[in-house]
Chains A and B, each alone.
Chain A
């Protein structure tokens, strides 16, 4: 029993829950008012719960409610069940009917009617139920509905309060309600709920399963085979009857069902009403668009009007209307003056305008003067020339008249070249030498203001047949001594040009020199490669010196008597050729330079003691010439103090081959002439580098010479010219020496590329004497 009870309780619960599930919108307050009017709290809870939608909670609550109810009714049910009576069912139906009223309230009447038929279909199993049953059911249903409405009204009017008994009494007065469609009790016929289990499992039981309320469905009585047969024979519908194994019933198929079966068998669609070829419903085509393509929300732009649209609506713009054209050109320079100043601001570098093309000259004329036309030779040369290196890019042509002038073939090309130049050629400011040469010239005093200086040739001393290598003037300025390649030494009277004496030494004479100290007695030293002569004649002392093969490369000798008669006293013989000779101003010492290597090349000789000494142990390079400083001693570019035997200074003239040196009478300035055509003036107090370097001569400078008395100096060169300079040295040490070129003296002929070999100022007069390779000596005054 217990299981059954529980089952029954369960089933009750399930019905309730089922009900709740099927009718979520049922208004429980109504029901509860009816059933449990006292329990308001629960109702309110329920309400809340329903509102909250917590379905499970609701189910539980319902179950409790039902439990309360079933406290009374459950017993009945049990009893009913035991009795196996259908009364209980009716009771239930009544209950259901009550609910049904509310249901029908909610759902439409028409629906009910149609649904009833469906119900019939579904609940057709019982063969005993006839169509009239159905009709009555429908009738009752309709009646019930009508009454139900009335009842509903009554219900709302009448309040029973807690009087359950009164309600029960009242209930009895109510008409019985036939369950129609949409009521739970529409499953009047027991339909098996066992589900998909074999029916054989129930073979041993009296029931075949359970109905929806959990009640056992008793096995219907089965007729035996004979009965079956008879029934089959009698039943005209035997062929449309099927067996429902689950419910153990025979089911008579309706015409519709048969029709469906036939259709299925025929392979067509079971539903007869189904229109296979229905018209397509257009949801989304180019015309209808009932659903959106994407789920994206519509953009704002989609429904806000665009600016142009707004403008069009406002009539401010007209689409399709051609734009009103502004005039293409206007006055760009309208207010140019104000801005022109800041246009060239520091923001950008200075713009250089492109140089203009050169304007055409006469040559470009179509009919130029005939002298502008090129000769055939020039034309050919032009054609052969590389186009880029041509002086002009066209050939002058002559057309006799304008009509015969053709088009110029290279016009476009030239314009293109110009275009390329404009944007590809770098631009820069280039200073062209538009300078006037006169502006560049140094501001020099006029030479005429610096007179006297030798300006013209006065005398020519002719007689020598070879080159005159060296000249020397005696301290009084009356006599001139010259030594030549023809082996003679001649004595000239300067003023008249008369040759007073000739010594024939039969060998090339390199140097002659007067002893500068007249008190010692005038001496002339004549240097021949192997000999050195001192002549004494008249007022002249001559000494002849000869070689001495001692430790020094010189030897002092007395000349033979024959030579002594000529006035040659001492001869000093050198191993090597003597290149240069210089007297000390006191007349006792003289220095020589020989072609020897090393320190032995420079020797200083003392007249009175007939001795020679070598001042330098070692010397770098070959020594060309020596000079005695007027006060101290000076040598070439190296200056030595002979007394202290120490090097004072080394001058750096910046020339390659020094040919000659002269020392200014005051001693602080030196001029150096060189074979590389340069003359360098040294101010020894100033620097070891030249104060002024002058390059005028076209050939090597052979000799440089200061005037002892005048601020003059002169250079002699192989180009046959002498140049006379004004060289003023001021006493004021702050003033730089003034050097002014005065005069170029020309007259000597050039022989074997040798011009003037020696030059010398007259000791008293502003005269210049020069000896040339042409065998003449010239006096310039």
Chain B
């Protein structure tokens, strides 16, 4: 007979550990344990069999991986927490005795800890950190707009502001912003940084409603880690972009609420680099440079030029002074078409009226290469005054614009966001001041086969580029125009199906005549031809609706085949089919709602 095996020495009972046992093992309080879990990123797990994991008990408990807890045991933070506890006790003692000097002394020597090692531990590589940056950004951007509450001091809020501004600066600098969405909750931004998409939401800048059931201790702990994380991420981003970190804050501009402009982003030792470069050039005639050094030099020269240009772009108000380094821009044009979208507002100069959200528009416009000025009442440091003749677009959000300059268009802010999402400048007709705005759509929606595609989405795909009244707005390079046209055609091809579905509705609406003409144009047909085509489609429709016999047979075959499946697989198949049905139902509901809306609109139009 073999040795009798002891119970609970292997298997699930040793892989998992309950929370209470973890507390006992770590010898920490529950509050400290929670903090540790938050900081270390340890989460509960669900064992396959709760009873086996909890030594035969089926009590409702939280389980952790025993190995996680084992690793927590050697965490230096635990010792720091204990030190802090004793420090607090001593401080309390001193304060209780009104021994202010001792209390001050204690406070000056209070135990301090950093979370640097945790950042590295949780995110072994930089890409990992970027992948998990969403929550950090959301929290920091929220707390940057928060009032000081319990557990969140003024310093913390200030740091959040600084870190978020730094991050925004990097996004602006690297033109990494991809999508923007104005939701009822806040403004969503999506940027692409080192190949990772990072999405975050920024609340509208109103005073935050602070609910009673929010535990700020938890939030503060999260914030503590996120601040450290974003600090390191910012450092890395800035240094890889060859910028000095931390960027200097211009106190005067900051006081005058200059927003993003108050941070002076400086390149890393620009002068040194340029100087080196010059020296090399002077000696170049005499010396034979190796290929490597030449490359280095070239790189350095372009870098310096780039930085210079950027610096001038930021500072100089003159339109003419903006000169992007020649070779550089060429290279860009050659390299990728996406650059044209990244520098969407390259040729525009915006002016923001005081009623538009500058905190968002400034970021967005600058991220897409635009230059802008703003009303002095919404902050100082504006490079352009309202009377500046260079301004091409004025963003305002008021029912009527009184005095209008003839050489600029007055648009509502949604135009900026929609243009960014459409990745080209949209026609301005619908966005003029006082105009009923077209619906604002989420750029994050990806349409699968058979999904409901709103009319506006199709419209974006088909609408032509922005050809406003102002000549300056016209894209100067004809090549660009062509490329845009091609792009349109491509998108057109994708969205052909939805157009079919929408054709019926569109037919009757007089307002959409124009749009249809555009559609026809984009397809390279005359309008009449297009109409005929549409008519044919309509005629075909009933036939299409009636399912062919073959289809029916096929369906029946499938049904029969399902009967041959095992129970498990049959359930799976049924579930997938149910899901598909549910989806179809939702889509149908949207279609019917759309039909109702158009009907109502038609009625209203007749009246």
Contact = CB atoms under 8 A, between A and B. Distances in A.
Interface of A: 328-333, 336-337, 339-340, 343-344, 347-349, 351-354, 356-357, 359-362, 364-372, 375, 394, 396-397, 399-403, 405-416, 418-420, 422-428, 433, 435-437, 440-442, 444, 447, 694-696, 723, 739, 741-742, 744
- Of A354, A364, A366, which is in contact with the most chain B CB atoms at under 10 Å from its CB? A366
Nearest to B398: A403
B208 A407 contact: yes
B272 interface: no
Contacts of A739: 564
B229 to A, nearest CB: 10
Given A329-B235, A348-B71, A415-B138, A364 B185 contact: yes
Nearest to B231: A329
A366 B46 contact: no
B43 A366 contact: no
A748 to B, nearest CB: 17
Contacts of A694: 563-564
B210 A412 contact: yes
B412 A401 contact: yes
B442 A361 contact: yes
B488 interface: no
B131 interface: yes
A357 B134 contact: yes
11 contacts: A336-B125, A359-B199, A361-B444, A362-B445, A367-B182, A369-B441, A371-B594, A371-B597, A396-B184, A401-B412, A696-B559
A352 B44 CA distance: 11
A440 B204 contact: no
Contacts of B131: 353
Interface string B173-187: 000000001111110
Interface of B: 34, 37-38, 41-46, 62-63, 65, 67-68, 71, 116, 119-126, 129, 131-132, 134-135, 138-139, 142, 146, 181-186, 188, 199, 203-204, 206-211, 213-215, 218-219, 222, 231-232, 234-236, 239, 245-246, 355-357, 397-398, 412-414, 436-437, 439-442, 444-445, 454-456, 556-565, 569, 572-573, 575-577, 579, 590, 593-594, 597
Contact of B209 (A370, A409, A426, A744): A409
Contacts of B558: 437, 441
A360 B183 contact: yes
Contact of A359 (B135, B210, B234, B442): B442
A425 B62 CA distance: 9
B265 to A, nearest CB: 16
- Of A369, A424, A436, which is in contact with the most chain B CB atoms at under 10 Å from its CB? A369
Nearest to A368: B439
Given A331-B239, A427-B43, A411 B203 contact: yes
B213 A413 contact: yes
B43 A422 contact: yes
Contact of B562 (A351, A408, A441): A441
Contact of A408 (B186, B569, B576): B186
A370 B356 CA distance: 24
B182 A416 contact: no
A349 B67 contact: yes
Contact of A365 (B184, B397, B563, B597): B184
A333 B203 CA distance: 31
A360 B188 contact: yes
A344 B437 contact: no
A274 B245 CA distance: 84
A205 B211 CA distance: 119
A162 B218 CA distance: 112
Contact of B576 (A396, A401, A433): A433
Contacts of A397: 184
A537 B441 CA distance: 83
Contacts of B234: 329
Given A359-B442, A362-B445, A367-B414, A413 B185 contact: no
B99 to A, nearest CB: 20
Contacts of A441: 558, 561-562, 565, 573
B550 to A, nearest CB: 12
- Of A412, A428, A447, A739, which is in contact with the most chain B CB atoms at under 10 Å from its CB? A412
Nearest to A349: B65
Contact of A369 (B38, B436, B455): B455
Given A359-B444, A744-B560, 9 more contacts: A361-B445, A369-B439, A369-B454, A371-B590, A401-B412, A402-B397, A405-B182, A408-B203, A412-B214
B182 A365 contact: yes
Nearest to A424: B44
Contacts of A696: 559-560, 563
B358 to A, nearest CB: 12
Nearest to B163: A329
B590 A365 contact: no
Contacts of A423: 34, 37-38, 42-43, 218
Contacts of B138: 415, 418
Contacts of B412: 401-402
A365 to B, nearest CB: 5
Given A333-B236, A437-B576, A368 B440 contact: yes
B215 A695 contact: no
Contacts of B122: 351
Nearest to A696: B563
A333 B207 CA distance: 37
Contacts of B129: 333
Contact of B211 (A336, A343, A413, A436): A413
B185 A408 contact: yes
Nearest to B590: A371
Given A347-B71, A365-B440, A419-B222, A412 B211 contact: yes
Given A412-B142, A416-B214, A741 B442 contact: no
A692 to B, nearest CB: 8
B452 to A, nearest CB: 8
Contacts of A356: 134, 199
A375 B593 CA distance: 9
B183 A333 contact: no
A347 B121 CA distance: 13
A401 B417 CA distance: 13
B67 A348 contact: yes
B594 to A, nearest CB: 4
Contacts of A428: 45-46
A331 B240 CA distance: 10
A407 B181 contact: no
The 9 closest A-B pairs by CB, nearest first: A407-B206, A696-B563, A343-B124, A359-B444, A741-B560, A371-B593, A329-B235, A364-B183, A371-B594
Given A419-B222, A744-B556, A366 B182 contact: yes
Contacts of B126: 333, 336
Given A365-B439, A440-B573, A441-B558, A416 B63 contact: no
A575 B208 CA distance: 89
A626 to B, nearest CB: 28
Contact of B41 (A336, A351, A360, A410): A351
A362 B442 contact: yes
Contacts of B560: 696, 723, 741-742, 744
Given A330-B235, A353-B132, A425-B44, A435 B576 contact: yes
Contact of B43 (A412, A426, A742): A426
Nearest to B414: A402
A336 B121 CA distance: 11
B563 A741 contact: yes
A440 B455 CA distance: 36
B142 A411 contact: yes
A418 B226 CA distance: 14
Contacts of A409: 209
A437 B139 contact: no
B313 to A, nearest CB: 27
Contact of B46 (A332, A371, A394, A426): A426
B121 to A, nearest CB: 8
A333 B206 contact: no
